[in-house]
Amino acid sequence: MQKRTDLAMEVRESFPRDNVEVKGVILTKEHFEKGELDVTTVNIKDEKGSTAMGKPRGVYVTVESPLLTVEDEDHGPIIDKIAENVESICDGLTDKSVLVVGLGNREVTSDSLGPKVTESLFVTRHIDREFGTAFMKENELGLVSAIAPGVMGQTGMEAIEIIQGLVDQTTPELVVVIDALAARSLSRLCTTVQITDTGISPGSGVGNHRKELSKTSLGVPVIAIGVPTVVDANTIVSDHLESVLTKQGYNENEIGSFLKEVMGQEMENVFVTPKNIDESVHVISQDLSKVLNKLMHKK
């Protein structure tokens, strides 16, 4: 029974008790803005932790706020907190040449976050090549390139093939990947930003970008910034059932065989997403573009 989530934080929550340490995994939580802005860090320190969590070793920071998706609110504190964590996980963005990759399908609203973020980036690599380093310094411009390559059904190519080609040709010092993620819980949709130094692992996102995008595969550090916009339909149904059956006193085995019966193939390739997904993706992509423009260009 696959209970899919791209959020390390949700994997950690699936362990029975919050206060018991999972070996090799360090969990820290901080609360800001009167509890309306939470930062959770899951640090997977070693192979034991990686196996337990089913995620690569590395740091996963989750910035969470119910206000993230509300256009009217002041997004200043959220943007600052995301920026602070991106900066720290990159060990400094500002002096590096950066390739930003917006993964996902711009034609599917819930998968269009990556393309939308790249659309609003201030891209400068060509300016540096035309006007030179002195001009860039004077104007406090970082060296930024960007692409939204589309998904495999549109290109016939794996994201890793496209990005490897770009890395070889343009030699950025850092790759930042933006992608829509799948969460396990509906309440996380569009309220959560995960920042990680592990890149993107197989099977992530709606678009099914299958090969890993990481420092190991690409040869340069890869930071991934993701926002859950969908829940797998199988996951939502089985989670619901499990919680009720547990309450009714069934044991794990009984629940397992019940679920096997319920869950059908027909729910593969479908997902759950909120009605107002267009507005949420719009608001959050604007925020993420601001975070990156600010960090990369010192303005």
Confirm or reject binding of residue 149 to a copy of itself (CB under 8 A): yes
| Antiparallel, parallel or unpaired: β 58-64 and 192-196 | antiparallel
Q: Is 208 left (phi over 0), alpha (psi -120 to 50) or beta?
A: left
Question: Of 8-16, 56-64, 165-173, 190-198, which part binds a copy of itself (CB under 8 A)?
Answer: 165-173
If the CB atoms of residues 71 and 91 are measured against a copy of itself, the closer one turns out to be 71
Q: Which of 37, 39, 115, 34 is nearest to 70 (CA)?
A: 37
Question: First vs last Cα of the chain: how many Å apart?
Answer: 47
Residues in contact with a copy of itself, shown as a per-residue x/- string from 218 to 247 under the rule CB under 8 A: -------------x-x--xx--xx--x--x
| Residue that is written with structure tokens 């933006």 in the block | 178
Confirm or reject binding of residue 150 to a copy of itself (CB under 8 A): yes
> 34 vs 37, 41, 90, 143, 194, CA distance in Å?
7, 19, 28, 37, 21
Residues in contact with a copy of itself, shown as a per-residue x/- string from 262 to 281 under the rule CB under 8 A: xxx-xx-xxxxxxxxxxx--
- Tell me the longest C-alpha to C-alpha distance in the chain: 70
From CA 79, how far away is CA 84, in angstroms rounded? 8
Which of 14, 28, 51, 155 contacts a copy of itself by CB under 8 A?
A: 155
Residues in contact with a copy of itself, shown as a per-residue x/- string from 20 to 39 under the rule CB under 8 A: --------------------
Confirm or reject binding of residue 291 to a copy of itself (CB under 8 A): no
Residue 36 makes CB contacts below 8 A (sequence gap 6+) with: 65, 66, 67
Q: Which residues bind a copy of itself (CB under 8 A)?
A: 71-72, 105, 107-110, 118-119, 122-127, 144-150, 152-158, 161-162, 164-170, 186-187, 189, 206, 208, 231, 233, 236-237, 240-241, 244, 247, 258, 261-264, 266-267, 269-279, 299
